Amino acid sequence: MDHEDTKEINESTRRTLKKWKTAVIVYGIFLFFFGPPIIIAVMAMPWSFNDLLNFFKMAYEDFTTFPDSIIRYLIMCLLAFLFSLPRLIVIYLFIKALILNRKTAAKVIIYIVIVVIEISVIWCFYSYYLARARKPIIYLYPETRTEVNVKLDINGRLVTTYPAYDTEKGWKVTADPDGTLTDKKGRKYSYLYWEGDISLIPDLSKGYCVKGEDTAQFLESILGKLGLTDKEADDFITFWLPEMAGNKYNVISFQTTAYEEVASLKVNPKPDTVIRINMLWYASNSYVDIKPQDLNDVEHPERKGFTVVEWGGEEYKKGVFNILFK
């Protein structure tokens, strides 16, 4: 009788373990197909549930517009699944240990360590993937001919600079009131240029959705409000317009705090007025309903005295598949 009871318990335990094993496998299948977009959506668009739905809508657009995205998606799913496989195994071993009344402390610790490692890797990868700051250029307008030293302090790395940037001393140029810059060799420049990778965590909760064909007009109207002269706005527009005009829509958000937190500018002598404009944007095949950005948050004061102006931006790789294939 005792033997039969033990056999019945073993069979019951076996069935329970089989059910939990099936549940873990189903969870693994779900992670394979939907894990990557959910992770990206939650990390890239954390402000509302509607944005999560919009993210899947964008993924659908990627599939229909670019069929090869399916292959990219499967590659990403496979990599994400292999990345999560150790955690799935530990989950099952943890459940098995609970059912069989075995010690579970070691497995709990292993599970926590694996989760921490996964989150850390995902966060580092996400921070890097959005980090290419493109063509920030710096204009210097002193009231009189002045020797100026400009240093960058960025959370990341410089990729390209012109004229050449000294990592210890920065740029040292002679600036004239009309903005002409002269280096120690006598070569003249219109502005200082740099490009690099920065750990920018974007804020896309507010902005503008503009038709591609209306982008030039939109930028003309808004850049003046942000403090740029016609010449500076012309430099800005002629750089970005070729990439934006052909899109059905462009979603645009001007980053201020987020950008300045990861890319600070140190100028000596200290300027009286500083204008820094950073545009984050992405193309969309459909209209995106986004809360309008309050320009009072990014408008700059009237130019007075020694004025420093910088503009640049990033194309936000919002697609599910662009993380691996920039």
pLDDT in tens, 91-120: 888 788 777 776 666 666 776 777 777 666
CA angle 300-130-288, nearest 5°?
A: 70
Asked if the structure places residue 322 within a domain, the reply is no
Residue 220's pLDDT band (cuts 50, 70, 90) = very high
Q: Which of 112-121, 207-216, 280-289 has the lowest mean pLDDT?
A: 112-121
Listed residues 95, 129, 163: the one ending a domain: 129
For residue 59, what is the enclosing H or E element? helix 49-65
Torsion of CA 68, 73, 78, 81, to 10 degrees: 180
pLDDT bin (cut points 50, 70, 90) of residue 154 is: confident
- Least confident range of 65-69, 89-93, 129-133, 273-277: 129-133
Regarding whether 251 and 144 lie in a shared domain, the answer is yes
Q: Do 201 and 64 fall into the same domain?
A: no
Instruction: Look at residue 229 and tell me if it is in a domain.
Output: yes
Q: Looking at the predicted structure, is the pLDDT value of residue 8 above 60?
A: no
Between the ranges 203-207, 271-275, 299-303, where is the mean pLDDT highest? Answer: 271-275
In this structure, the answer to whether residues 96 and 108 fall within a common structural domain is: yes
Long-range contacts for 102-109 (Cβ within 8 Å, ≥24 apart)? none
If asked whether residues 199 and 283 sit together in one domain, one would say yes
Among 129, 154, 189, the domain-final residue is 129
pLDDT at residue 58, rounded to an integer: 66
Provide mean pLDDT across the span 116-137.
64
18-27 mean pLDDT: 88
E strand or H helix at 280, and its extent? strand 273-284
How many CB atoms lie under 10 A from the CB of residue 13? 13
Mean pLDDT to the nearest integer, 126-149: 80
In this structure, are residues 250 and 284 in contact, taking their beta carbons and an 8 Å threshold? yes
Q: Kindly tell me if the per-residue pLDDT of 46 is higher than 70.
A: no
The tokens describing 76, both together, are 């990403």
Statement: residue 50 has pLDDT above 60: no
Report which residue type is found at 321. F
Highest mean predicted confidence (pLDDT) among 125-129, 179-183, 317-321: 179-183
Contacts of 35 (CB under 8 A, 6+ apart): 77, 80, 81, 84
Residue 53: its pLDDT value, please? 65
When mean pLDDT is compared over 49-53, 54-58, 68-72, the highest value belongs to 68-72
- Burial of 245 (C-beta count, 10 Å sphere; 0-12/13-18/19+): middle
User: 225 is in which domain, residue-wise?
Assistant: 132-315
The pLDDT of 64-91, averaged and rounded, is 76
Q: Count structural domains, the chain.
A: 2
CA max distance for the chain: 103
pLDDT for 215 beyond 80: yes
Are 146 and 174 in contact, with CB atoms under 8 Å apart? yes
149/252 same-domain check = yes
86 vs 274, more confident: 274
Give the integer Cα–Cα distance in Å for 277 and 279. Answer: 7
The DSSP letter of residue 297 is G
Please give the mean pLDDT across all residues of the chain.
Answer: 80
Sheet holding 307-315, edge to edge: 156-162, 192-198, 132-141, 307-315, 273-284, 249-255, 206-211, 291-292
Higher pLDDT, 102 or 16: 16
- Residues 62, 30 share a domain: yes
Mean pLDDT of 66-89: 76
